[in-house]
Structure 1
Amino acid sequence: MTDTRSDAPLDRPIWHSLTGRHAALALGDSRAVRFRPDVNLFGAAADESPEALDALAGLIAEGGTLGLLGVGAAAPLPGTVVVSERRLNQMVATRLNRAARAVEIVPLGDADAGEMLDLATLTAPGPFFAKTHLQGGYIGVRRGGRLVAMAGERMKVPGFSEISAVCTHPDYRGQGFARALMEAVLVPLLERGEGVFLHSYADNPAVALYRALGFEVRREMTYTVVARG
C-alpha cells in the first residue's frame, strides 16, 4: 500500500500539484496557492502559520469559494465560513485489471470545453469549471456527434496523477463507457511508471468499479469548502 506518512505528497495533493506540474495554473506565492478560479476551486497553504493561512484566505474572491483537501480537519481560514465538510476516501492504483470492451474514444480540448462543462453540470462528477480541461488528459465518447461520456486528469503530485470527472450522460449509462475511459486514462500513466489516485465518497456506487479496476483505499481525507464570511 502507498506511503501514509504525514509528509507523503498524496496527503497534500493540492499543494504538491500547484507547486509542481500544475504551477502554470496557479495563483499565489510561496505562502499559499490556488488553482485559477476558471480551472478549479482548490487551494492550499504552505503550512498552518498565520501568515500562510491569511495568504490563502486572500486568494478567495468576494463571493467565491475555496476547496481544501487534506488529512483531518482543515485549519480555520480567517474571514471565512465553512460551507461544507465531508470525509472521503483517497484510492490508489498501481496496477490495472483490464476488462473494458472496445469503445471509440476521442481526445477532448478547447473546442469541446462547452460540451464538457454541460455534461459535468448535468452529471455532477465533482467540481468542474470552464477551463478545468486544462488540467490535462481529457478524453470522451461521442454518439451522433454528441459528447455522452468523458474522463480526465486533475491533480498531479510526484509519482502520481489523479483521475477525475468520470461521467456519462444518463441516457447512455450501462454501456461500459466509464470503465473504457478510465482504462484509457490509466494505461499511459501506469506505463510511464506513475501511480493513479482518485477521491470518492464511501457510499458512491462507482466504488465497485474502482475496486474492479485495481484501486484500493489508501486513507480517509477531509474535503472542506469555505467561503468569505
Structure 2
Amino acid sequence: MTHSLDRPAWNALQTVHADLAEGGPLAMRYPTSIVPFAAPRDDTPESLRALAALSSPGEIMALVEVGPITVPDGHDVLIESTLVQMIGDRPYERIDDMSIEPLTPDDAEEMLALALLTKPGPFTLGAQRLGTFWGIKIDGRLAAMAGQRMRHPGLSELSGLCTHPDFQKRGLGTLLFRFVAGEITARGEEVFLHAYASNTGAIALYEQLGFKLRSRMNVKIVQRRG
C-alpha cells in the first residue's frame, strides 16, 4: 500500500502547495525561487518529457522518491544519495518560549546566509512561502532557525533546522526542533522530516526526540544541460 510521503514533492504540489505548483498533470515543480523539488506523475516517457520541459539550461531539480528515480533526458546527475524519512510517533507539546520569534521577509537574507553556512538542505530567499519559520536571535544576530517545507493534508515537514557555529552547544537547535514540532501538532498534523542516511548523529537525535524511521528514500539532484 502506498503512502503520500512515498512521493513527497508530487503529493504536496497536488494538495496543500497546489498554489505554488508549476507544470501540469504530467509533471510539477516548485518555483526555482522557493525550492528545487520537482516530480513527474509517473515514470512513463510522457511524464518524463513533461518533467524535462519544466527546467531551463543550467537549472537544478531535486527528485525524491521511495522507489527508483528515472532521470529525464537532457539532465546530468549532480548528487545521488539516500535519505531517511522519519515521522513523529506522538503529539508534541506546544512550547511557550520568549526567545523564539517568527521570522519575516526582512530576515530572509540572514536566513539564507545561515543556511549556506550550515547546509541544512536546499534553501532560498523564498523559502518562507512554504510555511512559517522561527528563529532565535542573540545580540541582534540570527543564532538558529527552523521551519516547515513540504506539506500534505495532515502532515508537515520540519525543515531548515540549523544553528550558527558561534552559538552551538547551547541547545538552541533542540529547542527550536521541539518548538516547531509543537506548532505543527497544535494544528492537528503529524510531523515528518528528511535527513541524509549518512548523518547518523542527527538521526540519533531525532530518535531521542521521538521520531521513527518511516522509509528510506532515494534522492537525485539533476541539472539541465546547456
Give TM-score, length-normalised by structure 2: 0.94
Report the CA distance shift for 1:19/1:97 in structure 2 as closer, same or farther (over 3 A): closer
Instruction: Count residues in correspondence.
Output: 224
| 1:72 to partner: Cα distance | 2.6
1:198 is the counterpart of 2:193: yes
Q: What corresponds to 1:178 in structure 2?
A: 173
1:228 is the counterpart of 2:224: yes
> Is the 2:66–2:216 contact (alpha carbons within 8 Å) kept by the matching residues of 1?
yes
Report the CA distance shift for 1:97/1:184 in structure 2 as closer, same or farther (over 3 A): closer
Matches of 2:41 and 2:162 in 1, distance apart?
A: 32
Matches of 1:166 and 1:137 in 2, distance apart?
A: 13
| 1:193 to partner: Cα distance | 2.3
1:57 is the counterpart of 2:49: no
Matches of 1:134 and 1:102 in 2, distance apart?
A: 24
1:131 is the counterpart of 2:131: no
1:165 is the counterpart of 2:171: no
AA partner of residue 212 (structure 1): Q
> Is the 1:25–1:39 contact (alpha carbons within 8 Å) kept by the matching residues of 2?
no
Give TM-score, length-normalised by structure 1: 0.92
Q: What corresponds to 1:24 in structure 2?
A: 19
Matches of 1:86 and 1:16 in 2, distance apart?
A: 21
Matches of 2:173 and 2:153 in 1, distance apart?
A: 26
| 1:189 to partner: Cα distance | 1.6
Q: Structure 2: give runs of 5+ residues left out of the alignment.
A: none
Q: Structure 1: give runs of 5+ residues left out of the alignment.
A: none
> Is the 1:161–1:196 contact (alpha carbons within 8 Å) kept by the matching residues of 2?
yes
Give deviations 1:152-208, integer Å, cap 9, x for gaps.
000012321101010000010011111111111111221332111111123322212
Give the match's secondary structure for 2:183: helix
Give the match's secondary structure for 1:77: coil
Give the match's secondary structure for 1:206: helix
> Is the 1:34–1:41 contact (alpha carbons within 8 Å) kept by the matching residues of 2?
yes
Matches of 1:91 and 1:22 in 2, distance apart?
A: 21
Report the CA distance shift for 1:101/1:211 in structure 2 as closer, same or farther (over 3 A): farther
Give the match's secondary structure for 1:185: helix
1:187 is the counterpart of 2:171: no
Larger deviation, residues 17-26 vs 118-127: 17-26
> Is the 1:33–1:45 contact (alpha carbons within 8 Å) kept by the matching residues of 2?
yes
| 1:208 counterpart (204, 215, 221) | 204
Matches of 1:88 and 1:65 in 2, distance apart?
A: 19
